[in-house]
Amino acid sequence: MSPLLNSELTIAFENGTASGSAGCNTFRAAYTADADTLTFGPAATTRRMCAGDLMTQEREFLAAIEASARWVTEGGVLHLHRADGARELTASPLEP
């Protein structure tokens, strides 16, 4: 999944909470990680309404996060995978 033009998809992990931007709204979700497994709870978002394509992107991004079951890092890049092994998301570190 790549962000739409003029939107930003971000995710940060801290103390059992994932948070970031889903392109339109910000979100927070509890997560647990162990070895290579990863489980997210339901995401809570702000309630801002955006254009239809941004709202579609947001629903797909949050669904991908919630479907993630495994994580791998390669060269500083985070890859989230579903339980069946299919890659859901790839996240690169933000530039300083």
pLDDT values of the chain reduced to their tens digit, one per residue, 96 residues: 567 777 888 899 999 999 999 989 999 999 999 888 989 999 999 999 888 889 999 999 999 999 999 999 888 888 899 999 898 888 887 665
* Residue 16 CA, distance from chain mean position: 14
- Fold held by 12-89: Lipocalin (2.40.128)
pLDDT of residue 89: 83
CA distance 15 to 87: 24
CA distance 94 to 50: 24
pLDDT of residue 94: 65
Bridge-partner residues for 87, per DSSP? Answer: 81
